[in-house]
Structure 1
Amino acid sequence: MYRLDPRYAPAPQAVLHTGWQAVASQLPDGPAVVAIEGPPSVDWSLLGHRLERELTGRGTPVTLLDMRSHYARPAHVRSRTERPADADDPYFRRLADNPLDDLFEILPVSAPPKEGLLLVYGPGAALVDHDLLWYADVPKRYAEAAVGAGEPGANLGLPGEKPDFRRLFYIDWPMLDQHRDSLVHRLDAWLDMQSPDHPAWIDGAGLRATYAALARKPVRTRPYFNSTPWGGHWAQRELGFNPDARNTALGYELIAPEAGILIGTGPQAQAEVPFQLMCVLEPDNVLGAQVHARFGTSFPIRFDYLDTVGGGSLSVHCHPKESYMRERFGWDYTQHETYYLTRGSTDTKVFLGLREDADVDAFRKEVERAVTDGVPMDPEDHVLAFPAEQGQLFMIPAGTPHASGAGNLVLEISATPYLYSLRFYDWLRPGADGNPRPLPYEHGFANLETGRRGDAVARDLVQEPRTLREGTGWREEVIGGLAEMFYEVRRFVLDDEAEAADDTQGRFHILNVVDGEGVTVHTAAGDRHELAYAETLTVPAAVGPYTLRATGGGPVRVVKASVR
Structure 2
Amino acid sequence: MYRLDPRYAPASQAVLGTDWQAVASQLPYGRAVVAIDGPPTVDWSRLADRLEHELTERGTPVTLLDVRTHYAPPALVRSRTERPEDADDPYFRKLADNPLNDLFENLPPAALPTEGLLLAYGPGAALVEHDVLWYADVPKRYAEAAVGAGETGANLGLPDEKPDFGRLFYIDWPMLDRHRDALARRLDGWLDLQHPDQPAWLDGAGLRATCAGLARRPVRTRPYFNSTPWGGHWAQRELGFNPDSRNTALGYELIAPEAGILIGTGPEAQAEVPFQLLCVLEPLSVLGAEVHARFGTSFPIRFDYLDTVGGGSLSVHCHPKESYMRERFGWDYTQHETYYLTLGGTDTKVYLGLREDADADVFRKEVERAVSDGVPMDPEDHVLAFPAEQGQLFMIPAGTPHASGAGNLVLEISATPYLYSLRFYDWLRPGADGNPRPLPYEHGFANLETGRRGEAVARDLVQEQRTLREGTGWREEVIGALAEMFYEVRRFVLDAGAEAADDTQGRFHILNVVEGDGVTVHTAAGDRHELAYAETLTVPAAVGPYTLRATGDGPVRVVKALVR
TM interval, short-chain normalised? over 0.9
Please report the RMSD computed on the Cα atoms of aligned residues, expressed in angstroms: 0.3
The 3-state SS of whatever aligns with 1:550 is strand
Give CA-to-partner distance per residue, 1:119-176, whole Å, 9 cap, x none: 0000000000000000000000000000000001110000110101000000000000
Asked if 1:524 is matched to 2:552, the reply is: no
Give CA-to-partner distance per residue, 1:273-332, whole Å, 9 cap, x none: 000010000000000000000000000000000000000000000000000000000000
Q: Which residue identity does 2:372 align to in structure 1?
A: T
The 3-state SS of whatever aligns with 1:136 is strand
User: Counterpart in 2 of 1:231?
Assistant: 231
User: Counterpart in 2 of 1:155?
Assistant: 155
Asked if 1:273 is matched to 2:273, the reply is: yes
Q: Which residue identity does 1:131 align to in structure 2?
A: D
The 3-state SS of whatever aligns with 2:178 is helix
User: Counterpart in 2 of 1:495?
Assistant: 495
Work out the CA distance in 2 between the residues paired with 1:258 and 1:406: 26
Asked if 1:117 is matched to 2:109, the reply is: no
Q: Which residue identity does 1:516 align to in structure 2?
A: G
Q: Which residue identity does 1:517 align to in structure 2?
A: D
The offset of 1:429, in angstroms, is 0.2
User: Counterpart in 2 of 1:315?
Assistant: 315
User: Counterpart in 2 of 1:324?
Assistant: 324
Q: Which residue identity does 2:408 align to in structure 1?
A: N
Percent identity reads 89
Give CA-to-partner distance per residue, 1:65-88, whole Å, 9 cap, x none: 001111000000000000001111
User: Counterpart in 2 of 1:96?
Assistant: 96
Q: Which residue identity does 1:55 align to in structure 2?
A: L
The offset of 1:111, in angstroms, is 0.2
User: Counterpart in 1 of 2:461?
Assistant: 461
The offset of 1:495, in angstroms, is 0.1
Structure 1 residues 6-155: aligned runs within 5 Å: 6-155=6-155
The 3-state SS of whatever aligns with 2:85 is helix
Work out the CA distance in 2 between the residues paired with 1:29 and 1:544: 46
Q: Which residue identity does 2:294 align to in structure 1?
A: R
The 3-state SS of whatever aligns with 2:520 is strand
The offset of 1:441, in angstroms, is 0.2
User: Counterpart in 2 of 1:413?
Assistant: 413
Asked if 1:552 is matched to 2:548, the reply is: no
User: Counterpart in 1 of 2:397?
Assistant: 397
Work out the CA distance in 2 between the residues paired with 1:213 and 1:436: 47
Q: Which residue identity does 1:100 align to in structure 2?
A: L
Give CA-to-partner distance per residue, 1:5-54, whole Å, 9 cap, x none: 00000000000000001100111122100000000010000000000001
Structure 1 residues 151-550: aligned runs within 5 Å: 151-550=151-550
The 3-state SS of whatever aligns with 1:327 is helix
Work out the CA distance in 1 between the residues paired with 2:418 and 2:314: 15
Structure 2 gaps of 5+ residues are none
Work out the CA distance in 2 between the residues paired with 1:450 and 1:466: 28
The offset of 1:372, in angstroms, is 0.2
Work out the CA distance in 1 between the residues paired with 2:38 and 2:162: 20
The 3-state SS of whatever aligns with 1:45 is helix
The 3-state SS of whatever aligns with 1:423 is strand
Work out the CA distance in 2 between the residues paired with 1:462 and 1:9: 42
The 3-state SS of whatever aligns with 2:398 is coil
Work out the CA distance in 2 between the residues paired with 1:487 and 1:27: 46
Q: Which residue identity does 1:270 align to in structure 2?
A: Q
Say how many residue pairs are matched: 564
The offset of 1:468, in angstroms, is 0.4
Work out the CA distance in 2 between the residues paired with 1:439 and 1:152: 27
Work out the CA distance in 1 between the residues paired with 2:159 and 2:136: 18
Give CA-to-partner distance per residue, 1:229-284, whole Å, 9 cap, x none: 00000000000000000000000000000000000000000000000010000000
The offset of 1:202, in angstroms, is 0.3
The 3-state SS of whatever aligns with 2:134 is strand
Work out the CA distance in 2 between the residues paired with 1:242 and 1:333: 33
The offset of 1:431, in angstroms, is 0.3
The offset of 1:58, in angstroms, is 1.1
Work out the CA distance in 2 between the residues paired with 1:260 and 1:159: 26
Work out the CA distance in 2 between the residues paired with 1:57 and 1:498: 61
The 3-state SS of whatever aligns with 1:306 is strand
Work out the CA distance in 2 between the residues paired with 1:452 and 1:189: 52
Work out the CA distance in 2 between the residues paired with 1:66 and 1:225: 34
Q: Which residue identity does 1:560 align to in structure 2?
A: K
Work out the CA distance in 1 between the residues paired with 2:32 and 2:474: 62
Give CA-to-partner distance per residue, 1:332-362, whole Å, 9 cap, x none: 0000000000000000000000000001000
Work out the CA distance in 2 between the residues paired with 1:43 and 1:269: 20
Work out the CA distance in 1 between the residues paired with 2:348 and 2:70: 55
Q: Which residue identity does 2:192 align to in structure 1?
A: D
Q: Which residue identity does 1:90 align to in structure 2?
A: P
Q: Which residue identity does 1:529 align to in structure 2?
A: H
Work out the CA distance in 2 between the residues paired with 1:482 and 1:158: 44
Q: Which residue identity does 2:449 align to in structure 1?
A: E
The 3-state SS of whatever aligns with 1:184 is helix
The 3-state SS of whatever aligns with 1:492 is strand
The 3-state SS of whatever aligns with 1:271 is strand
Work out the CA distance in 2 between the residues paired with 1:41 and 1:460: 45
The 3-state SS of whatever aligns with 2:513 is strand
The offset of 1:497, in angstroms, is 0.4
The 3-state SS of whatever aligns with 2:377 is coil
The offset of 1:208, in angstroms, is 0.1
The 3-state SS of whatever aligns with 2:172 is helix
The 3-state SS of whatever aligns with 2:380 is helix
Give CA-to-partner distance per residue, 1:454-499, whole Å, 9 cap, x none: 0000000000000000000000000000000000000000000000
